[in-house]
């Protein structure tokens, strides 16, 4: 396993969490990396109860820039990455009695917000992720609930230090969907409330 700075941070976080937490470096845009991730989990666990597809990168060019390199890079992580990881872990999710898939989207991908323009790659990736969430929820068996959330503008590496929301605030709705006893499926949430697509 690579020992880069990012992986060392992941290892440290896993040690702080404890309770058998396993650190694994994953490239969500690489199907073979997702398959290795599945193999690691399958060696240690019989099922997966919660999958949070949280990997994301920004794309800030307007549609008129036609920056296909940026478009491909953002779609590969924000949309296809969620699809690759979900596909790889699907056998373990199916074995859970009550599985939850939570896709981290953005209000910038809602139909109302995309009309503002700008950030084309990012908006399109999140708009598409919302659509994928609906489709997967419709096709999934009843014991696998699939939803997406908008965490808001959060103080992460991507959101920056001036974002108004802490990481804890941004994660709250995902934690709620992962732990609440009865939840719907195929919905879009912010602050534990359903919002429009």
| Residue ranges making up the domain that contains 58 | 46-194
pLDDT given at position 3? 58
Among 7, 38, 119, 132, which one carries the catalytic annotation?
119
Provide the domain count of the chain. 1
The secondary structure of the chain as a DSSP string is ----HHHHHHHHHHHHH-TT-------TT-HHHHHHHHHHHHHH-S--SEEEE---------GGG--HHHHHHHHIIIIIHHHHHHHHHHHHHHTSSSEEEEEE--GGGSHHHHTT---HHHHHHHHHHHHHHHHHHHHS-TTEEEEEE---SBSSTTT-TT-SB-HHHHHHHHHHHHH-SS--SS-EEETTEE---
pLDDT given at position 8? 85
Report which of 5, 96, 11 is spatially closest to residue 47, judged by C-alpha positions: 96
In a domain, 146, yes or no: yes
CATH code of the domain containing 158: 3.40.50.720
pLDDT given at position 156? 83
In a domain, 24, yes or no: no
Q: Kindly report, residue by residue over 138-178, the tens digit of the pLDDT.
A: 999 999 999 999 998 878 888 888 888 888 998 999 999 99
In a domain, 11, yes or no: no
Q: 188-190 and 50-53 as β-strands: parallel, antiparallel, unpaired?
A: unpaired
Rounded distance between C-alpha atoms, residue 14 and residue 171, angstroms: 17
Length of the chain: 197
Positions of the chain with pLDDT under 70: 1-4
In a domain, 94, yes or no: yes
Cβ-based neighbour number of residue 80 at 10 Å: 19
Ordered strands of the 188-190 beta sheet = 50-53, 99-104, 144-149, 188-190, 193-194
pLDDT given at position 1? 42
Q: Which two tokens stand for residue 113?
A: 């917000």
In a domain, 15, yes or no: no
Q: What is the pTM of this model?
A: 0.93
In a domain, 39, yes or no: no
In a domain, 35, yes or no: no
119 in active site: yes
Rounded distance between C-alpha atoms, residue 177 and residue 52, angstroms: 10
pLDDT given at position 162? 87
In a domain, 165, yes or no: yes
């Amino acid at each position: 396993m690579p020992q880069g700075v990012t992986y060392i941070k992941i290892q440290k976080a896993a040690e702080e969490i404890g309770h058998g937490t396993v650190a694994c470096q994953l490239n969500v845009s690489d199907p073979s990396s997702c398959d290795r991730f599945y193999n690691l989990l399958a060696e240690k666990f019989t099922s997966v109860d919660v999958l949070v597809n949280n990997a994301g990168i920004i794309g800030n060019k307007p549609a008129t820039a036609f920056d296909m390199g940026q478009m491909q890079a953002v779609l590969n992580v924000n949309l296809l990455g969620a699809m690759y990881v979900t596909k790889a872990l699907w056998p373990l999710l199916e074995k859970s009695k009550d599985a939850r898939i939570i896709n981290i989207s953005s209000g910038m991908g809602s139909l109302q917000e995309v009309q503002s323009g700008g950030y084309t790659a990012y908006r399109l990736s999140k708009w598409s992720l919302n659509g994928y969430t609906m489709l997967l929820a419709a096709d999934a068996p009843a014991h696998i609930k699939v939803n997406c959330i908008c965490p808001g503008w959060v103080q992460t590496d991507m959101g920056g230090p001036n974002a108004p929301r802490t990481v804890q605030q941004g994660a709250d709705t995902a934690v709620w969907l992962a732990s609440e006893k009865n939840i719907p499926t195929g919905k879009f949430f912010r602050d534990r409330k359903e919002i429009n697509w």
